[in-house]
Chains A and B, each alone.
Chain A
Amino acid sequence: MSEAIRLEGVRKSFGRLEVLRDITLTIAEHEVVCLIGASGSGKSTLLRCINLLEPIDAGRIVIHGVEVTGRGVDVDVVRRRVGIVFQSFNLFPHMRVLDNLTLGPRKALGVPRERAEEEARALLERFGLADKVEEYPDRLSGGQQQRVAITRALAMNPDVLLLDEITSALDPELIAEVLDVIRELAAGGMTMLIATHEMGFARDVAHRVCFLDEGRILEQGPPGRIFTEPREERTRRFLDRIIAAGRM
């Protein structure tokens, strides 16, 4: 299996706060990796760094064999191949769903409008959003908005998808429809790095789970092992808290 993403000794601080300390992680093509960890452990920051939304202080990030953290790298070209979906959807409220999807392909990739719209409609249909094409985002439910946000990232036809707690802003009854979309993508072989608090989902969909603790990957392995026999005391305590909170 060839590698999709490789992080080597990645460090990131905000002022004096060290958020990522020496992160080393390789993700293979078609692999689904879930990042778990307490609030503030650096999950979002890690994803934002891979998408180059945050500059890193040290280390290297290599995507499909190309170092993207070097000098003279066109960040826009990198971002076109790495999709990211945010917790808060971040749809463009002044644009219809269709235009939300076609903006990236048209402006960043230069796809002609007609073809971009055709592809966007096909994507929306695939994820059960065909009747929302002409709507504005604020007319949709949270679950629908998040599904639109995922299809917006997919419209760029990315090699890798980064998902940052995409269900934590949703009401419980809306979570399933969004997770189903991710399951379908995983089944289709999409490479994904997923930050999540949904342990049931992680166990279900991930090939590998990484436990992030104070900016370090403390432990990683297949979900079956991490969730049943964690080696690290801190991992165990984190999972116990999650179970106590009824999220597993």
Chain B
Amino acid sequence: MDRGPGAEPRSAVTGRAAGEGPAALAGDRRSRIVGGGEGRSVWVAVASTAVFFTVAGVLVVTSPGWPAIRDAFFDGAVFRDAFPKILARFGRNVAIFGIAEVLVLVLALLIAVMKSLPGPVFAPLRLLAAAYTDLFRGVPTILVVALLGFGMPALGLRGVPRSDVVWAIVALTLVYAAYVAEVYRAGIESIHPSQMAAARSLGLSRGQAMRHVILPQAVRRVIPPLLNDFIGLQKDSALVAFLGYTEALRQAQIVSAADFDFTPFVALALIYVVITIPQARLVDWLIARDQRRRAGGGTT
């Protein structure tokens, strides 16, 4: 459960380099399918894919363990019962990661800008920002969720929210802002210093140059790795179940326990797959488009 949170954003931070693999592959595939100029290669691809999956499917379904697996994970009746309930609760996950994403965008930008402040005067702020990102990238997400989600309401202090979801959202925001801040910072640093010089030479202050010249270009460049991190955040909204809050995963657990069946978990997995895969494709497409543009020759 907590392998995901660690593994996901780490790859996303290096998203630019890592992203080149899939994007290059996508381009490759396109040229192999379309580039031939005739439809024959398309048919070969379709046929071989169909044959492969039919054979694989038959092998699985005819294996001796299949009936047990089917009953435990792919029970049609349980699915029909569980799916609407889980889907309804998934609205809570959407609210959790929706709010967290907005907060992450703002907080991460703040941290990234803090980290890029120059000069000795701002050393404390830079240090603070660095400590923050180190800390929250180093601690397992589920631990932060547990600490804040169980801990803060238990304090019973006046003015401190008692709702565990609120603290779960805060926890997810803190963790993912640390990753997204690094993404932003990589974006800021990828803008050539001559852009800052050009802006400053027009009499713009450092802040104005950041706001009007550096950040607009940086943000555009980091959209793909940013979306990668958001996919991770969306998946990690399931960690809130750990606090006993009835979102989709907790709901799946409840139905599963009642029916002695794991099909509800499969139903939830299906929901996640349906919302994350289009986003992953979008990321690939954005990276590929970016590369085409760069190959087309832009100016710095």
Contacts and interface: CB of A to CB of B under 8 A. Distances in A.
A93 B299 contact: yes
A91 interface: yes
A77 B201 CA distance: 10
Contacts of B198: 86, 90-92
A53 B217 contact: no
Interface residues of A, number: 28
B203 interface: yes
Interface stretch (B143-151, B181-189, B205-213): B205-213
Contacts of B195: 90, 92
Interface in A61-89: 76-77, 79-80, 83-84, 86, 88-89
Contacts of A152: 202
Given A90-B195, A91-B299, A145-B299, A108 B201 contact: no
B3 interface: no
A74 B245 CA distance: 55
B48 interface: no
B298 interface: yes
Contacts of B298: 93, 138
A109 interface: yes
A108 B199 CA distance: 10
Contacts of B200: 53, 76, 79
Interface string B280-297: 000000000000000001
Nearest to A76: B203
A103 B205 CA distance: 12
Contact of B201 (A79, A88, A93, A137): A79
A37 B195 CA distance: 26
A94 B217 CA distance: 7
B299 A108 contact: no
B191 to A, nearest CB: 10
B296 to A, nearest CB: 8
A91 B194 CA distance: 9
B53 to A, nearest CB: 44
Contacts, number: 70
B194 A76 contact: no
A235 interface: no
A49 B123 CA distance: 25
Contacts of B204: 76, 103-104, 107-108
Contacts of A84: 201
Contact of B194 (A79, A90, A137, A156): A90
B197 interface: yes
Given A88-B300, A89-B299, A137-B299, A94 B220 contact: yes
A51 interface: yes
B244 interface: no
B201 A53 contact: yes
14 contacts: A48-B197, A51-B201, A76-B203, A76-B204, A79-B203, A89-B299, A92-B195, A94-B217, A103-B199, A103-B213, A107-B208, A108-B208, A153-B201, A153-B202
Given A92-B217, A108-B205, A156-B202, 20 more contacts: A76-B203, A76-B205, A84-B201, A86-B194, A90-B197, A92-B195, A93-B217, A93-B298, A94-B217, A107-B204, A108-B202, A108-B203, A108-B204, A108-B208, A109-B203, A137-B299, A138-B298, A152-B202, A153-B201, A153-B202
